[in-house]
């Protein structure tokens, strides 16, 4: 098959292709999914950033 005589090499190629497809599918499913909640650390960071920008 495809000139590959060793079954180990063929298995490695097929597993690489399968893992790539799984990663692409996972990425498409979770494309815009994320944590949309505002965390306390985010609020603290934004306040510090605003303070620094005002000093400049």
Domain ranges of the chain: 7-55
The pLDDT value given to residue 1: 62
Name the pLDDT band for 32 (thresholds 50, 70, 90). Answer: confident
- pTM here is 0.55
Question: Does pLDDT of 17 surpass 80?
Answer: yes
pLDDT at 18 over 90: yes
Spatial distance between the Cα atoms of 18 and 39, rounded to a whole number of angstroms: 37
Residue 19's pLDDT band, with cuts at 50, 70 and 90, is very high
Please tell me which residue, 4 or 21, carries the higher pLDDT value.
Answer: 21
**Radius of gyration of the chain, Cα coordinates, nearest whole angstrom:** 23
């Amino acid at each position: 098959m495809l000139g590959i005589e060793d079954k180990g090499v063929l298995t490695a190629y097929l597993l690489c292709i399968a893992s790539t497809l799984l990663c692409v599918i996972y990425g498409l499913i979770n494309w815009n999914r994320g944590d949309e909640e505002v965390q306390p650390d985010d609020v603290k960071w934004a306040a510090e950033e605003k303070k620094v920008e005002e000093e400049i």
